[in-house]
Amino acid sequence: MIRRFVFGTMIETEAILQKPSACMDSLPYLKCSEESLSFSYEMGETDRIYGLGENVRGINKRGWIYESKCSDEPEHLEDRRSLYGAHNFLIVDGRETFGIFIDYPGILTFDIGYTRHDQMTITPSDWNLDLYLIEGDSLRDIVRQFRHLIGRSYIAPRWALGYGQCRWSYMSADEVREVVKNHRDLHIPLDMVYLDIDYMERYKDFTVNEETFPNLDKLVEELKEEHIRLVPIIDAGVKQEEGYSVYEEGMKKGYFCKREDGTPFVAAVWPGKSMLPDMLNKEARDWFGSQYQFLLDKGIEGFWNDMNEPAIFYTEDRLKEVIEEIGTFRGQNLDLDKYFYFTGLVQGLHNNRDYYKQFYHNIDGRQIRHDRVHNLYGYQMTRAAGEAFERLVPDKRILMFSRASYIGMHRYGGIWMGDNKSWWSHILLNLKMLPSLNMCGFLYTGADLGGFGSDTTEDLLLRWMALGIFTPLMRNHAARDTRRQEVYRFENIDGFRHLIGLRYRLLPYLYSEYMKAVLRYDCMFRPLAFDYPADPHAAQVEDQLMLGEELMIAPVCQPNADGRYVYLPETMKLIRFKENGSIEEEILDAGHHYVKVALTDVVLFLRPDHLLPLSQGGQYAEEIDFEQLSYLSYVKTKAVYEYYHDDGCSRDYENPAHLSTIIIDTEGNVTIE
Amino acid sequence: MIRRFVFGTMIETEAILQKPSACMDSLPYLKCSEESLSFSYEMGETDRIYGLGENVRGINKRGWIYESKCSDEPEHLEDRRSLYGAHNFLIVDGRETFGIFIDYPGILTFDIGYTRHDQMTITPSDWNLDLYLIEGDSLRDIVRQFRHLIGRSYIAPRWALGYGQCRWSYMSADEVREVVKNHRDLHIPLDMVYLDIDYMERYKDFTVNEETFPNLDKLVEELKEEHIRLVPIIDAGVKQEEGYSVYEEGMKKGYFCKREDGTPFVAAVWPGKSMLPDMLNKEARDWFGSQYQFLLDKGIEGFWNDMNEPAIFYTEDRLKEVIEEIGTFRGQNLDLDKYFYFTGLVQGLHNNRDYYKQFYHNIDGRQIRHDRVHNLYGYQMTRAAGEAFERLVPDKRILMFSRASYIGMHRYGGIWMGDNKSWWSHILLNLKMLPSLNMCGFLYTGADLGGFGSDTTEDLLLRWMALGIFTPLMRNHAARDTRRQEVYRFENIDGFRHLIGLRYRLLPYLYSEYMKAVLRYDCMFRPLAFDYPADPHAAQVEDQLMLGEELMIAPVCQPNADGRYVYLPETMKLIRFKENGSIEEEILDAGHHYVKVALTDVVLFLRPDHLLPLSQGGQYAEEIDFEQLSYLSYVKTKAVYEYYHDDGCSRDYENPAHLSTIIIDTEGNVTIE
């Protein structure tokens, strides 16, 4: 049951398209205090809190304070309060069990046992919001109800579940060709090369640097012959430059965000001084979306939207002030306080909160200050793209994922988990975000494998891949000035080929699970507690996940480890994919195990009376035969799998012909119905 | 067996006082390449590398590149290459087993499977060093030989094993009194309050702010009546200020570091422009050491030396250049590269490597550029203090620990683990550094409990305490502008009282183990592999430690956890100290266990035929009766403990009367011999 409680008059987010009528009951569970502008809840000693989408820390979010404020935050540390997304959905599980969604476009905090261990306090910046209270039969049921409420998640083309390679600093078409050639020559599967900002002409959206990437349409065509797709980045900020048509047209039409007095708000990002398209203005959004045509026309079929929190390096005005003020320090003795103030001037240029109070959106004719609707910006940018694709290429699925997001955006694109680091701890963070994001509707997701910032190592990349092969978005991505981390840079080519090859063998299953989770408003990845609510230890497990109905995964997240502890809530079959191609199977009893996992092994755990379909593999998604399958199974009486299979590119999602049932009996006979 | 291999002519570090004569054998194990200026070693597939003292990452250091370069590094992240210490001792354990110590005062790197998984490469900045190669019967034997070579570790007064409270921003004597009062009123034991920089007059070493800390000698006396000792900080940099006697005298005598042309090198730290005493010049060192008299005269009995990497906020010259250059950005459009350059100007002020090439030491009349001897600075500052204490108060132990260090410094003081954070991951980092530091001679050590930087939480502090009660230095310390974290700020006072109270019950054992480790050149904390070399899983364990001959510890390092996995290499007795004062005992078989540990439980694991003495507890170290002991034991045939007990303050360490043997037989009869 979902009840909607209305507080004040919210600024519309369109997270929910069909709203239930406002509930006049008094709000259950939560204490609501208009004086302190907050909702509070007394948690039981062992209550768990699930949700909050893209965030730091555990699957169980208890013990910290989180701020819903889309942030360009490259340090995904446990003391951060915000990452790129604002996902105001959580589930309390314990003494009482219920879900909450706060539909509110401004900044709010969730103090979940930070100030007081047993207290949860939710504090919005003002008192205009809708609160949805969701009760259900189970954690999973609560999620499903919520997901129905917010609408069907974005569906990626099937090729987008292939393996992609990216680096901030692929500086030319030839460098891209070299990446492709190295993968193909070494028989390491590859479907995509992502283009970071360097393909553009001086970081101008919807331009191509003709010197370094001449004739992009030809390059796209050439790579398609290799079954590789180019996926370029699009940034939120539009360069301020006379003669640049996107800038000029946007200015002429008044589509950029403005200061209160109506003058342009100039914020700097990659190109320096830039304008922020008013993504919250429907007309401007349509206009921005139409710009993607420039790249669609060149044969591009996928994009990633970046810097759309929006990130702001500096504003024209603030930079000027800071430079002036720094001049006044000339000849001074800077002690502790003065020195910190001095360095703070420069550190505070980047993404300063004050900027968000300095510009306005035009929402249906009303001027709304940005901070009140901050969390919608990336959402509406991606919606601009998603709605444009429906207009421009209605019969085709276009790959789209974003950095910033709000619930509602899940209908238009996926997200990647942002600018993580080459840290072992970020394998685990990747794992922990998966179920939380799935709860909030983000199914096409994954982290930058190997880590974006800082230097990776071969063993880190191998272990991370062993998780990454399960995530719908599987991308190796690294920042400029870090160690090169294309897999062919390392010695253990066989190991990487094995891991990425296994991804392609798993594709029929992963795509089927992804589609079923979308169409059934379900989670592809779940905490163990969702599937084993009666098992008190299941709620303790923060480094394993359920995948589909079939599998439990438990990647190794530590260096120099020959294995890891795994908790089995029931008897399962351990399946080990070894680098030499062999597959070992072993039944393990319920309980705690130390499971050895060699550096290039992949282990997974198959539940009783379930099966796992495998393809024969291939070098790219289109080479995979989704019908010639082999099976791994753990049959006690009868293993049944509901297999979703379509052409992977058209939009006829709900056709029942896409579903078949695969049955394996105790004799090993396979029946397909 | 220890062999010394001489390469070029090293600048003397005095890490080793009695050097074995140079060995003329060819260097075993390592390939030595004069062209690439490096030593290399081919590691076996599962070889472990132990050592490197204060550092990030695992007990097994394999898989990363470390730089020995004492660094003011507040971000103890897994991608950092240096922390505050330079501890060039490591042990290879695997196909071959041997220890290496590189006695070299300059900057060097240890690439331990970073570039290539199976390759270790050690690269000094030049080719003037002594390399010691140590072979032995066991890992522990190698350590003991090395520790004999480098000399006996510093011995702290026994009261320094009490609990201490610190915060950067205790702004007045009254604030200190309040801290003491709160502990005493709530019966939370306390022995020390540490003073961070705020007690000084404008951050000038060996001054006291008379307005906020009037009559420090009286305050010291008053607190001693409460059995509390004040432990002030001393910084490396001396404020440049006319009329300040330490500055004036140092200038007059030429005791500060100079530029090549003999002009003063002005570097800024807390007070702004400051001078760096030439700690490597024996005369200057004696002079600096004598300054501690100022505080000894006020009754102070302990100090901590900080900022002695040395940290440099900026140099006078560089700050001027940066301010000028920033002025040239006026009116420019800063795109990506220009903006990063601009912000880099300011970010690069702090601890810029170039500074270390701009000043010189006077070592026995030779001018030596700082970077060549960088890693000795903190060591020689602490030696200045240690030698002064021997001169000034020869009959008394003075508490001394430092931030920066080099091997050799362990004879003069301990270290704390630097400016960590309120992160769960830093509980584990604290644990991992303990054995590595012990190997390098640093026995009086511990981390800032609850975390120095960022905001702590009650559960984090509770769990961290459950490790901290075992470390010789047990200090709760937090930075300015973070959440207050004195234990009485939280709700669970009973829990904190229980944990800190248990520390005091453990004091007889901990002090005895600390003293035995010092006097026997042994490790108080050891990786499991040191004690169970034949157990292949023991080498995998990165979150448990052996403590003394008796105990294994395994703290909980995760939030929201009701327990953790523990590996027992042999049958042990689990001892659980519960908040209600009860002690539960249970025999656990060798192997893997999931052990439940409530938030205020302390569990430890007692080895067979060993015993643990406990005091009755007390509110401060001097209240502890070290002779009225009770015992926990796990007797199979006979439990024997060698107990070290002295007065805890004088220097008659080696007196055999300090040792007794406690024996418990199968009937539970206790005999003391």
- Tens of pLDDT along B276-328? 999 999 999 999 999 999 999 999 999 999 999 999 999 999 999 999 999 99
Q: A-chain residues within 8 Å CB-CB of B313?
A: 334, 339
Give residue B378's Cα distance to chain centre: 12
CA distance B31 to B39: 5
Top residue of A336, A341, A347 to mutate, by most chain B CBs within 10 Å, is A336
* Identity of the residue in B268, B492, B540 whose CB atom sits nearest the CB atom of A334: B268
State the nearest Cα–Cα gap between B536 and chain A, in angstroms. Answer: 10
State the nearest Cα–Cα gap between A22 and chain B, in angstroms. Answer: 36
Q: 3-state SS string over B215-228?
A: CHHHHHHHHHHCCC
| B140-196 residue pLDDT tens | 999 999 999 999 999 999 999 999 999 999 999 999 999 999 999 999 999 999 999
* Identity of the residue in B455, B537, B565 whose CB atom sits nearest the CB atom of A79: B455
Over residues A25-52, mean pLDDT: 93
* Identity of the residue in A64, A330, A335 whose CB atom sits nearest the CB atom of B203: A335
| B220-254 residue pLDDT tens | 999 999 999 999 999 999 999 999 999 999 999 99
Backbone angles phi and psi of A170, in degrees to 5: -80, 105
Considering only residues 141 to 200 of chain A, which have any Cβ-Cβ distance to chain B shorter than 8 Å? Answer: 197
| B526-572 residue pLDDT tens | 999 999 999 999 999 999 999 999 999 999 999 999 999 999 999 99
Contact A58 B335 (CB under 8 A): no
Backbone angles phi and psi of A181, in degrees to 5: -60, -45
Q: A94: buried, middle or exposed (CB in 10 Å: 19+, 13-18, 0-12)? A: middle
| B368-385 residue pLDDT tens | 999 999 999 999 999 999
- Tell me: ipTM over 0.95: yes
Instruction: Confirm or reject contact between B273 and chain A (CB < 8 A).
Output: yes
* Identity of the residue in B64, B455, B565 whose CB atom sits nearest the CB atom of A565: B565
Check: CB of residue A87 under 8 Å from CB of residue A440: yes
Read off the amino acid at residue B259.
R
Helices (H), ranges, B95-156? 139-150
Percent of chain B with pLDDT over 90: 99
Q: A-chain residues within 8 Å CB-CB of B457?
A: 63-64, 113-114, 117
Instruction: Confirm or reject contact between A590 and chain B (CB < 8 A).
Output: no
Give residue A403's Cα distance to chain centre: 7
A295-316 as b/e: b if 16+ CB within 10 A: bbebbbbbbbbbbbbbbbbbbb
Confidence label for B36 from pLDDT (cuts 50, 70 and 90): confident
Confidence label for B33 from pLDDT (cuts 50, 70 and 90): confident
Q: What is the mean pLDDT of chain B?
A: 97
Q: Are strands B38-42 and B314-315 parallel, antiparallel or unpaired?
A: unpaired
Read off the amino acid at residue A374.
H
Instruction: Confirm or reject contact between A224 and chain B (CB < 8 A).
Output: no
> Which pairs count as long-range contacts for A364-368, CB under 8 Å and 24+ apart, including other chains?
A364/A282, A367/A260, A368/A11, A368/A280
Give residue A396's Cα distance to chain centre: 22
* Identity of the residue in B203, B330, B425 whose CB atom sits nearest the CB atom of A323: B330
Contact B333 A273 (CB under 8 A): yes
What is the per-residue pLDDT for A34?
A: 73
Considering only residues 21 to 80 of chain B, which have any Cβ-Cβ distance to chain A shorter than 8 Å? Answer: 46, 48, 57-58, 60, 62-64, 77-79
Check: CB of residue A637 under 8 Å from CB of residue A666: yes
Tokens of A63: 């013990």
